[in-house]
Amino acid sequence: MDSRGQVEPRIVWAVVESGIGPLLLAASPGGLVNVVFHATDPVRDRAVERLASRLGTEPVEAPGSPLLAEAIRQVEAYFAGERRDFDLPLDWSLISGFNREVLRELASGVPFGTVVGYGDLAGRVGRPGAAQAVGMAMGANPLPVVVPCHRVVESGGGIGGFGGGLETKRRLLALEGVLPEPLF
């Protein structure tokens, strides 16, 4: 219950503006559970439906919720260049198994301003040769930006793929000083 004796919804969400466009942030009592790129109305609606289906409860738009306050503050600070990492409780319930293991390693072991190859990340979780599986884990990341899948690149120097689009990946890497800022 909140301070007014009201039951806090199990999943709350809000859309926040960022340097890469609108992001949907969703949280549960366990922590931030989802970040969705390009959160225009249709994308937002699909994301909320997907969350309801996967988590078994109807998410509620609640930008003022205490469950979201710190996540919103940290995301805004990151895009303002005032924060280099995130210190948030994360709810991993949308991902499991190998994918969760890889994403946890990524979150803890690849700091701001650095990159790692898909194969290198596979080796870090004891699965050398599983670079493609790491790529699949990056594509399944329910917490992009906060769990920095944009920092995973091809070993040959290519930027690799990205669920938010390659331009978004370039902008995130430029924000972190890995790539030069785009000229236009």
Catalytic sites, residue numbers:
149
Residue 74's nearest CA partner among 121, 137, 139, 143 is 143
Residue type at 182 in one-letter notation: P
Q: Cα–Cα distance between 89 and 70 in angstroms, integer? A: 10
What element of type H or E holds 149? none
Lateral strand order in the sheet of 31-36: 31-36, 23-28, 12-16, 60-61
According to DSSP, the residues that pair with 26 across neighbouring strands are 13, 34
Place of tokens 């990159």: 115
